[in-house]
Amino acid sequence: LKIFCGNANRELAQEIADYLGISMGVANVKTFMDGEINIGIDESVRGADVFVVQPTCAPTNDSIMELLILIDALRRASAYRITAVVPYYGYARQERKTKAREPITAKLMANLITTAGADRLVAMDLHAPAIQGFFDIPVDHLPGVPILAEYFMEKKLEDICVVSPDIGGVGRARNFAERIGASLAIVDKRRPEPNVSKIMHVIGDLQGKIAVLIDDITDTGGTITQAAAVLMEKGAKEVYACCTHPVLSGPAIGILEKSVIKEFVVTNTIPLTPEKKIDKIKVLSVA
Ligand code: R5P
């Protein structure tokens, strides 16, 4: 068994290798001056069961190309089986046409990963679980909820209400609420345009409760911080939030810092750059 990675999340790949008690495979990932990526696999992989750990997070398109080129190199070097471990699957939010002449980029990604030579995919909390069906190779789809739930169980908070920040996340929130023995509430969010969210209603009783918001992705931070403010207005005592994938782009860190959210718990599917490591953010490992 061998583990390789590109530049997207070296820390996570190393943690997985440490957990397994093996050393990381040696792949030299270089970028030429014109932006092209060149990868050299500096050890034999002939007949090996190879895992490539590479979330397709920012810089998204470079991470994707590194993943594809790594898989191609490993296939041409006669690896026996190649598993693409893509903890965060970029473009997962473009999984269907919402209007005429739109691409379905999540499917294009699946085609590219398969064509490059992956035999299997491991992903976490795909924004749309149906993306599993975009692949004709086996897909292991792992949830972040057990890791997040364990953390909140250990905090021993009392009278928790788990809140889904939108209708699409209700299944995840219900699973989380059942695991930690909490009640459930739902925020009715609309998205009038990309990166803009608007809260319409809150369904459920928040009075005097500790609210814990759970989402798959936090990108600009708009969804989770707006929901948190509304939950306080609805009588919540405190608001915690958690998500699997901390994309945290644009204004996210600034608005999270200013928000009413007491603690924001995320996983390390996407690494946090130093400026994103603020006191409020707690990172749990999926390794
Ligand atoms: C949307 O359906 C997702 O589950 C997240 O709620 C969304 O991607 C979060 O985006 P933002 O942080 O930019 O509001």
Give me the mean pLDDT over the 261-272 stretch. 98
Residue identified by tokens 């006191």 is 279
Residue 66 in contact with ligand 1 by CB distance below 6 A: no
Closest CA to 172 of 128, 205, 135: 128
Residue 216 in contact with ligand 1 by CB distance below 6 A: yes
Are β-strands 37-41 and 238-246 bridged in parallel, bridged antiparallel, or unpaired? unpaired
pLDDT of residue 171: 96
Report the DSSP beta bridge partners of residue 139. Answer: 121
- Tens digits of residue pLDDT in 102-134: 999 999 999 999 999 999 999 999 999 999 999
Residue 225 in contact with ligand 1 by CB distance below 6 A: no
pLDDT of residue 158: 94
CA distances from 283 to 151, 184, 201, 215, 238 (A): 10, 24, 30, 15, 20
Rounded Cα distance between 54 and 6, Å, is: 6
Peptide bond into 59 cis (omega under 30): yes
The answer to ipTM > 0.95 is yes
Task: For 37-96, give the DSSP string.
Answer: EEEEE-S--TT-EEEEE----SSHHHHHHHHHHHHHHHHHTT-SEEEEEESS-TTTT--S
pTM: 0.96
- The answer to whether 51 touches 24, Cβ cutoff 8 Å, is no
pLDDT of residue 196: 72
Burial of 75 (C-beta count, 10 Å sphere; 0-12/13-18/19+): middle
Q: Place 219 in a pLDDT band, splitting at 50, 70 and 90.
A: very high
Q: Place 2 in a pLDDT band, splitting at 50, 70 and 90.
A: very high
- Which residue of 163, 215, 259 sits with most ligand 1 atoms within 8 Å of its CB, as the best mutation to test the pocket? 215
Q: Is 36 annotated as a binding residue?
A: yes
Q: Place 144 in a pLDDT band, splitting at 50, 70 and 90.
A: very high
Rounded Cα distance between 231 and 225, Å, is: 10
CA-nearest residue for atom 10, ligand 1, is: 219
pLDDT of residue 199: 73
Active-site amino acid positions: 189
**pLDDT, mean over the chain:** 96
- Which residue of 190, 196, 218 sits with most ligand 1 atoms within 8 Å of its CB, as the best mutation to test the pocket? 218
pLDDT of residue 194: 74
The rounded Å distance from CA 188 to ligand 1 centre is 13
- Tens digits of residue pLDDT in 132-142: 999 999 999 99
CA-nearest residue for atom 9, ligand 1, is: 218
